[in-house]
Structure 1
Amino acid sequence: MMFNWLSLVTGLFYIALGIVIIIYKFFFIILEPTVAYPLGAVVMLYGIFRIWRAVSRIKNTGNDE
């Protein structure tokens, strides 16, 4: 159960990281806009996927009880 909540928080951090990459165009090195925008979008999509997966697992554990 704790893993699901940790995955939810991690998803939020991934979304925040994607926003930072897009705004500052930095991810360990200075990025060109043509690289920063797609990389930020992919990181944000991964964060949304982690949140969706965590919410679905939390709902499923509630049904099993």
Structure 2
Amino acid sequence: MMFNWLSLVTGLFYIVLGIVVILYKFFFTVLEPGVAYALGVLLILYGIFRIYRAISKIKNSDNEK
């Protein structure tokens, strides 16, 4: 159960990281604008996927009880 909540927090972290990469165009090194935008969008989409999967698992575990 704790893993599902941790996965939810991790998803939020990925979304914030994606927004930071888009705004500052930096991810361990200075990025070109196109690369920063693509990486930022990818991180945001992955964060949304993690949140969706965590919520799905939380709902399924509540239904089993």
Q: Give the TM-score normalised by the residue count of structure 2.
A: 0.99
Measured against aligned partners, the alpha-carbon deviations of 1:25-48 in whole angstroms (never above 9, x if no partner) come to: 000000000100010000000000
The answer to whether residue 46 in structure 2 is matched with residue 46 in structure 1 is: yes
Tell me how large the CA RMSD over aligned residues is.
0.3
Superposed CA deviations along residues 12-65 of structure 1, whole A, max 9, x for unmatched, are: 000000000000000000000010001000000000000000000000000100
Runs of 4+ in structure 1 over 4 Å off: none
**SS of aligned partner of 1:59:** helix
Give the match for residue 5 of structure 1. Answer: 5
Give the total of aligned pairs. 65
**Alignment map for 1:1-65 (pairs within 5 Å):** 1-65=1-65
Structure 2 SS opposite 1:28: coil
With normalisation by structure 1, the TM-score equals 0.99
Percent identity reads 72
Which amino acid is 1:8 matched to?
L
Q: Which runs of 5 or more structure 2 residues have no equivalent in the other structure?
A: none
SS of the aligned residue for 1:31 comes to: coil
